[in-house]
Each structure stands twice: as structure tokens, then as C-alpha cells.
């Protein structure tokens, strides 16, 4: 749910304009790539087939714009350009380029389109990224100037108490750098209350709302909704509907709870059986972001399971021959929303390790519900090697493939561990657990307090991005090579 009003840059005419500009940019990028391939010798791919005009017509004029426009829409690049940070523009366009190239390659493979130059495809990716970045930066600069010149300014009145109006004005003043919103005053929703001094102009009781909205050319009424004043809210809605002004409803608890606290909460407006509702979630991940994360999980886990299959077979044989017991250690853990699933690792301990755990609890080196012991006597010689380089966790790629886990996310706890969690620690189960996490790459051997571990998990949840996942995965590779596993 966006914070901005619907200003001109996100109306239909502008959307059509943005789409046309992007199509022209993509056609230009493909044609430049075509010229480059025909003029520059294919040094990277010596046996590359020469690009043909048919490829340009099919790919540039039909397929590529269709795919790119959909991906650009999914990545949120057709909103108000002025409200996107430079880092967001770069990251989202980079994601669009990789995802677009992947989709187009799959489609061409599926329809058996032969003769497509890989070098042409690669150069087009570079050109399209650079040209779209230039287009977005120009659009951002233009609309920032338009915003600051007041072309999209909205007049807003608050319906509530004086302190509500002051809070709303303070929030807008602190967050609106584009000067889009002007709080021109407030209407007191309580008919019998005395007028309280306020920095926001007092416009009267709600009986005068309709007249003042018309006279002052107000675009929107922001109603601070209190369950004790529902009849007044009905009157406000009738008045605004009659004069054609928009109505925005902010629950009273949102102002009382605090804007800072709510900044870590995702709010989505949804229709619940025909009734408008607000859904609050402690996870701020957007659906399209979760979709991309899941897409990467499926592709990466499937690729790794196939590629590493010889190593998996060798480790399985070594575990079987090194000590009596099953090859895989199976144990039930909790995933997203406390859902229980079966997790798998290569067995690194003696067969009766779970029974022996009770005799070692007094030697636990981790403060909290998790058992951690560096020199655990239950670990076999082969198991110690597998743990050192995290090879015992390779079967968990299957859990990633089927959707129980993700490549990156908080480590899944067992039911017994979860029952000893403090309430604030339970939020780590609000997302899908992962094979690696911030704790894994932040010196896990040095962290002995479970509270610190969970704080890292919550930091990951609150600050998640695909870029953060990539950084953690890269750091995990170095951690595995260094052999710091326990």
C-alpha cells in the first residue's frame, strides 16, 4: 500500500507515455546491439552465428518489449518516478534485466527459435540496462522539479481532534520532501468539545465540512477514525461523497501507537467479503519480491542438487561406511508461521545421539533454548569434517526446492526449542527459514547468546532485500571455504 496520493505521474496518460518511451528504448537497445555484433568481431564466442534481420524483427519488435513491460510493472517501475530513490532505480532495473533475459531465453528455447546470437543477447542486456537507467533518471529529475514547483500539490483537511491534526501535519512535514501535501486545517469530530489551541488552523465542526471543502477546493479529507465516534464518521463520508472529495481513514490507534513503531509494520488495504479492511503484518516484504525470492530458490536448489549429485552420493556412501546408522538425519522443525516439516541432513553423530543429549545439557555453550557444544562427543570423525565445511547441510537443498525452506532465512528451530522461546523471539518464524543466515556469516562460533542470534534474524527480516540475500550467499561461500562450521 503506497503512502502517496494519486498524483498526475501515476494517472493513465502518464502510464501510456512511460510504456511508449520504454518500448522505444528497448527497440533502440536491441538495434544498437545488432549493429555492434555486425561491426565488432565476436571475440567472446568464435562460433557464434551471425545475427539476422529476422531475429531483430521477432525479438525486438514483439517478444522483448512484451516481457520487459510486464517485468517493469512487477518491479514497481511505473509509479511516480520522483518517489523512487536512485538506489531503487538501479537495483530494480538490474533485476529487470536479469529476469527479462532469463524469461526471453526460456521462451525462445521453448519455441525452438534457433540461430539467436548469444553475443547479441548479452550486448542487448547491457545496452537495455544503461538506456533504461538514463530514461528513468531523466524522468525522475523532471518530475522532482514538477513536484517542487507545486504542480501536483494536494489540499488536505483532517477530521479529528487538535492533537490528531498536529500529529498528521508533523508526519507529512517529516516525510514529504516533494511538497505535495498541504494541511490547510482540521474539523473537530467531537460536537461538544471545546476548541484546543493547535498549530493547525481550526476550520469548525463537521457540520461545516461540506461547505468548507467546496469553498477551499479541498482534494481529500483525512479522517482519524475512533470507534467511539462512528456516527460522526458516517456524516463525514456522506459529505465528502456528495461534493466529490476523496476520503482517507487513519485508525486512531495508528497515531497513538506511534509512527516510528508502525514503520516496521507492513499495511495492506484489502477487501474482506466486500468490506474494506487494513491488514497489518510484521513482515514488510512485497508479494512480487517474495515471488522473485522463491523463483531464485527453485532455480538455484534444482541446479545445485543436479550439479552436486556426485558429491552427494560420495558423502552418502562415506556416512554409511564410516559408522552404523542411517545416512540421513531426519528431524521435525518449525517453518514459516510455526508450520512443522521434516528436515534432512547427512548424519554426523552416532545413531543414538538424541538419547545421549540429555547427559550433555549441563555442557551447553549457548545461552538460551538451543543446544550448542563445540567438542560434542557424539560427533563422528567424518561428521566433524562434514560440519567443518557445512557439507552435512547439502540435503537441505531439497527442502528449499519443495518450499519448506529458502536459501537465506532464519535457522529453523525444533518444537522443543520453540516452546522455550520468549515472545519477542517467535517473530523469527514469520518468514520461511533458510539454510544460511546473518548468524551464519557473522561469526557463529563467537555468538554464544541466543538473544543475539535472534536479533540478527529480526534484523534480516526487517531489512530484507534480494541484494542482502546475495551478500549473505557470497559471504557464506567464504565461510564454508574457511571451514568455520561446528
Domain ranges of the chain: 8-148, 154-281, 287-482
Average pLDDT over residues 201-207: 80
**What sections of 149-193 are H helices per DSSP?**
162-175
Instruction: Count other Cβ atoms within 10 Å, centred on residue 324.
Output: 7
HSE of 394, CA atoms in CB hemisphere, 13 A: 25
Question: Kind of pairing, strands 202-205 and 181-188?
Answer: parallel
DSSP state of 411: P
Q: Are 315 and 346 in contact (CB under 8 A)?
A: yes
Instruction: Count other Cβ atoms within 10 Å, centred on residue 154.
Output: 17
Nine cell digits for residue 70: 510486464
**Residues β-bridged to residue 341:** 333
Question: Kind of pairing, strands 154-160 and 220-225?
Answer: parallel
HSE of 368, CA atoms in CB hemisphere, 13 A: 17
Q: Please choose, from the candidates 53, 52, 59, 64, the residue with its C-alpha nearest in 3D space to the C-alpha of residue 22.
A: 64
With b for 16 or more beta-carbon neighbours within 10 A and e for fewer, the 56-80 pattern comes to bebbbeebbbebbbebbebbebbeb
Coil, strand or helix: which one is 221?
strand
> If you compute the radius of gyration of the chain from its CA atoms, what whole number of angstroms results?
29
State the pLDDT at residue 466.
Answer: 84
For residue 202, report the phi and psi dihedrals to the nearest 5 degrees: -85, 125
State the pLDDT at residue 318.
Answer: 94
- Burial degree of 321 (CB within 10 A; 0-12, 13-18, 19+): exposed
Q: Please choose, from the candidates 13, 144, 15, the residue with its C-alpha nearest in 3D space to the C-alpha of residue 72.
A: 15
Instruction: Count other Cβ atoms within 10 Å, centred on residue 242.
Output: 11
Fold for domain 154-281? Rossmann fold (3.40.50)
| pLDDT tens per residue, range 372-416 | 777 788 989 999 999 888 899 999 999 999 999 999 999 999 998
Q: Greatest CA separation found in the chain?
A: 87
Higher-confidence position of 25 and 479: 25
Q: How far is 390 from 400, CA to CA, in rounded Å?
A: 16
State the pLDDT at residue 411.
Answer: 92
Coil, strand or helix: which one is 73?
helix
State the pLDDT at residue 284.
Answer: 72
Whether the per-residue pLDDT at 3 is higher than 50: the answer is: no
State the pLDDT at residue 424.
Answer: 87
- Read off the pLDDT band of 365 (50, 70, 90): confident
CA end-to-end distance (rounded Å), the chain: 43
State the pLDDT at residue 53.
Answer: 46
Region at 381 (left for phi over 0; alpha for psi -120 to 50; beta for the rest): alpha
**H or E segment at 367?**
none
Q: Report the length, in residues, of the chain.
A: 486
The single residue listed with the C-alpha cell 494536494 is 154
**Residues β-bridged to residue 157:** 185, 221
Coil, strand or helix: which one is 209?
helix
Q: Are 325 and 348 in contact (CB under 8 A)?
A: no
Residues 266, 271, 275, 281, Cα dihedral to 10°: -20
Instruction: Count other Cβ atoms within 10 Å, centred on residue 157.
Output: 25
State the pLDDT at residue 4.
Answer: 43
Give the global pTM: 0.61
Whether the per-residue pLDDT at 181 is higher than 90: the answer is: no
Q: How far is 324 from 382, CA to CA, in rounded Å?
A: 12
Q: What percentage of the chain carries pLDDT values higher than 70? A: 82
Q: How far is 433 from 429, CA to CA, in rounded Å?
A: 7
Q: At what angle do helices 466-482 and 287-307 cross, to 10 degrees?
A: 30
Lowest-pLDDT range of 98-107, 123-132, 136-145, 412-421: 98-107
Amino acid at each position: 500500500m503506497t503512502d502517496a496520493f494519486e498524483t498526475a505521474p501515476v494517472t493513465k496518460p502518464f502510464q501510456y507515455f512511460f510504456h511508449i518511451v520504454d518500448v522505444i528504448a528497448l527497440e533502440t537497445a536491441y538495434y544498437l546491439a545488432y549493429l555492434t555484433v555486425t561491426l565488432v568481431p565476436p571475440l567472446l564466442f568464435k562460433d557464434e552465428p551471425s545475427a539476422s534481420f529476422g531475429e531483430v524483427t521477432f525479438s525486438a519488435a514483439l517478444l522483448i518489449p512484451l516481457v520487459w513491460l510486464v517485468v517493469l510493472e512487477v518491479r514497481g517501475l511505473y509509479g511516480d518516478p520522483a518517489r523512487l530513490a536512485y538506489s531503487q532505480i538501479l537495483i530494480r532495473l538490474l533485476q529487470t534485466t536479469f529476469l527479462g533475459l532469463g524469461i526471453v531465453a526460456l521462451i525462445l528455447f521453448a519455441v525452438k527459435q534457433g540461430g539467436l546470437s548469444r553475443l547479441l543477447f548479452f550486448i542487448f542486456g547491457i545496452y537495455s540496462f544503461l538506456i533504461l537507467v538514463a530514461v528513468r533518471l531523466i524522468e525522475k529529475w523532471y518530475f522532482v522539479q514538477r513536484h517542487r514547483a507545486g504542480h501536483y500539490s494536494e489540499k488536505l483537511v483532517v477530521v479529528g481532534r487538535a492533537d490528531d491534526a498536529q500529529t498528521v501535519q508533523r508526519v507529512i512535514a517529516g516525510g514529504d520532501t516533494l511538497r505535495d501535501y498541504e494541511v490547510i486545517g482540521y474539523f473537530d469530530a467531537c460536537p461538544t468539545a471545546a476548541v484546543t489551541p493547535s498549530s493547525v488552523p481550526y476550520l469548525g465542526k463537521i457540520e461545516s465540512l461540506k461547505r468548507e471543502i467546496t469553498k477551499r477546493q479541498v482534494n481529500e479529507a483525512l479522517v482519524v477514525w475512533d470507534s467511539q465516534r462512528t456516527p460522526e464518521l458516517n456524516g463525514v463520508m456522506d459529505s465528502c461523497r456528495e461534493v466529490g472529495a476523496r476520503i482517507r481513514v487513519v485508525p486512531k490507534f495508528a497515531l497513538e501507537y506511534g509512527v516510528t513503531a508502525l514503520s516496521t509494520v507492513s499495511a495492506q488495504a484489502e477487501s474482506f467479503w466486500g468490506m474494506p479492511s487494513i491488514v497489518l503484518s510484521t513482515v514488510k516484504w512485497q508479494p512480487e519480491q517474495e515471488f522473485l525470492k522463491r523463483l531464485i530458490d527453485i532455480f538455484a536448489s534444482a541446479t545445485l542438487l543436479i550439479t552436486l549429485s556426485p558429491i552427494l552420493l560420495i558423502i552418502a556412501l562415506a556416512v554409511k561406511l564410516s559408522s552404523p546408522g542411517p545416512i540421513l538425519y531426519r528431524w521435525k522443525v518449525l517453518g514459516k508461521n510455526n508450520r512443522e516439516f521434516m528436515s534432512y541432513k547427512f548424519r554426523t553423530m552416532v545413531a543414538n545421539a538424541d538419547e545421549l543429549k540429555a547427559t550433555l545439557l549441563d555442557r551447553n555453550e549457548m545461552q538460551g533454548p538451543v543446544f550448542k557444544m563445540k567438542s560434542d562427543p557424539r560427533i563422528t570423525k567424518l561428521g566433524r569434517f562434514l560440519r567443518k565445511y557445512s557439507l552435512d547441510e547439502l540435503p537441505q537443498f531439497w527442502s528449499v526446492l519443495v518450499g519448506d525452506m529458502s536459501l537465506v532465512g532464519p535457522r529453523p528451530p525444533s518444537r522443543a526449542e520453540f516452546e522455550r522461546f520468549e515472545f519477542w523471539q517467535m517473530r523469527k518464524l514469520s518468514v520461511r527459514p533458510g539454510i544460511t543466515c546473518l548468524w551464519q556469516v557473522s561469526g557463529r562460533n563467537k555468538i554464544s547468546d541466543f538473544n543475539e542470534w535472534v536479533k540478527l534474524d529480526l534484523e534480516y527480516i526487517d531489512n530484507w532485500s534480494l541484494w542482502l540475500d546475495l551478500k549473505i550467499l557470497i559471504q557464506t561461500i567464504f565461510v564454508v571455504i574457511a571451514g568455520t562450521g561446528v
